[in-house]
Amino acid sequence: MLQNPYVRIILCSRALLQLGIWVRNLAILFYVTDLTGNDPLYVSLISIVEYAPLFVFAWIGGTFADRWRPKRTMVLCDALSAVSVVLVLLAVGAGAWYALLAGTFVSASLSQFSQPSALKLYKNHVAPEQLQGLMALSQSLVAIFTVLGPVIGSFVFLQAGIRVSLCMTAVLFLASSLMLSRLPRDERKREEERSTTFREELKEGLRYLWTSRSLRTVSATFAVTGLAAGLIQPLGLYIVIDKLGQGKPFLQWFMLVNGAAMLLGGILIMGQAKKLKPQTLLAAGLMVSAFSTFLVGFSTSVLLTMVLQFLGGLFYPAIQIGIQTLIMRNTEPAYIGRVGGAITPVFMGTMVLGIGAAGFVKDLLPLAAIYAGSAALLVLGVLLLLPLLQREKPAVLSS
């Protein structure tokens, strides 16, 4: 798989981008909290500018990804991200620290055009039997930076400060753009192919998604999975303090075990990717996550909770890999940008709703009940998958 230049170059580019994003995000978080005295309003604003572009531009970016040449789109987006960081650096030097939030919003918005283009190249240039292994490899890359990103980002800021952190981010974004420039040239499209308008193609993509039973099922499963994850995401600290009787610093070990297990899970799935059907992989991930989530809510044993955290992290990649593979296999190349741009915000949107509801629900229900509710949503996801599980083979559309 790594002999494929599209896979090799895009993954190297994603690694550079991930590192740049973590360095930037940690630097902004520390810098803004230092300036504002840990004001929760500004901490919330940081999260908003990071996530808002996903809802605003994902569908639009996916539609343009289907219209534009993917290599050129990705190279340009990463180069513009580097330029935006340089402009923010100049603004911060002039004392306008609010530019940090604007720069993050611009960079996150550009990624909504770049990411669907990468999926389009994968769909067009990677063998169907390798797609699930590729999704596992991509998920492993994310898991690596989930574990190492906060460490590297914190170290750079604490040792060198905001200016060096932003300089490093700009260099990494530019390096990603240069890396992508090594991709084979985009195929030129015939002039008659582009007879429809942007609005018509956007509507056509929505119609395509709605008429596909498989894609509707994946969307519904992704929605309940996001809600389940959001409900418990802010409550890990309370598990550590209220259930395990540990101090706040113990939370880092709680998260580290989960992140390390995610990395291992992605690697294991990658090795068995050709033998596993994506819908079966997804259902297994949901069931094991439901089991571990339910028991974490009741456990008062440090050892048992850490084992459950490891188990949940080990199977969490199965959920992401299964869903991404189903999207890739059940979508025609001409629609891959729009479908990806429509389904991804479904997960993030419901997760954000769950996060917002978690604080309110925490005041009304015990932790065990909330974790049980999250587990029930994951089981609901399995029930929604039954039509796909009952098929002997997943529907694969010709590319």
How far apart (Å, rounded) are the C-alpha atoms in residues 18 and 9? Answer: 14
Residue 335 is predicted with a pLDDT of 82
Mean pLDDT of 337-361: 79
Contact 163, 92 (CB under 8 A): yes
Contact 126, 328 (CB under 8 A): no
| C-alpha pair distances (Å), 265 with each of 254, 258, 278 | 17, 10, 15
Extract the tokens encoding 142: 């994310």
Residue 5, amino acid: P
Centroid of chain to Cα 48: 15
Residue 195 is predicted with a pLDDT of 60
pLDDT at 61 over 80: no
Residue 41 is predicted with a pLDDT of 67
Q: What is the pLDDT of residues 237-246, one digit of tens each?
A: 788 888 888 8
Residue 362 is predicted with a pLDDT of 82
Extract the tokens encoding 88: 């923010």
pLDDT at 38 over 80: no
Mean pLDDT of 114-127: 84
How far apart (Å, rounded) are the C-alpha atoms in residues 13 and 20? Answer: 11
How far apart (Å, rounded) are the C-alpha atoms in residues 281 and 320? Answer: 10
Q: What is the pLDDT of residues 171-185, one digit of tens each?
A: 999 999 999 999 988
Mean pLDDT of 357-369: 84
Mean pLDDT of 93-114: 82
pLDDT band of residue 44 (cuts 50, 70, 90) is low
pLDDT band of residue 40 (cuts 50, 70, 90) is low
How far apart (Å, rounded) are the C-alpha atoms in residues 396 and 399? Answer: 9
Place of tokens 């069931």: 287
Residue 192 is predicted with a pLDDT of 42
pLDDT > 90: percent of the chain: 23
Residue 132 exposed, middle or buried by CB count within 10 Å (0-12, 13-18, 19+): buried
Q: What is the pLDDT of residues 274-323, one digit of tens each?
A: 777 888 889 999 999 999 999 999 999 989 999 999 999 899 888 888 88
User: What does the mean pLDDT of the chain come to?
Assistant: 83
Mean pLDDT of 92-121: 83
* Low-confidence winner among 224-233, 276-285, 353-362 (lowest mean pLDDT): 353-362
Which has more confidence, 47 or 156? Answer: 156
Residue 329 is predicted with a pLDDT of 85
Residue 395 is predicted with a pLDDT of 43
How far apart (Å, rounded) are the C-alpha atoms in residues 132 and 76? Answer: 28
Q: Which of 251, 14, 39 is nearest to 143 (CA)?
A: 14
Mean pLDDT of 89-106: 82
Q: Which of 374, 229, 187 is nearest to 316 (CA)?
A: 229
Report which DSSP code applies to 243: I
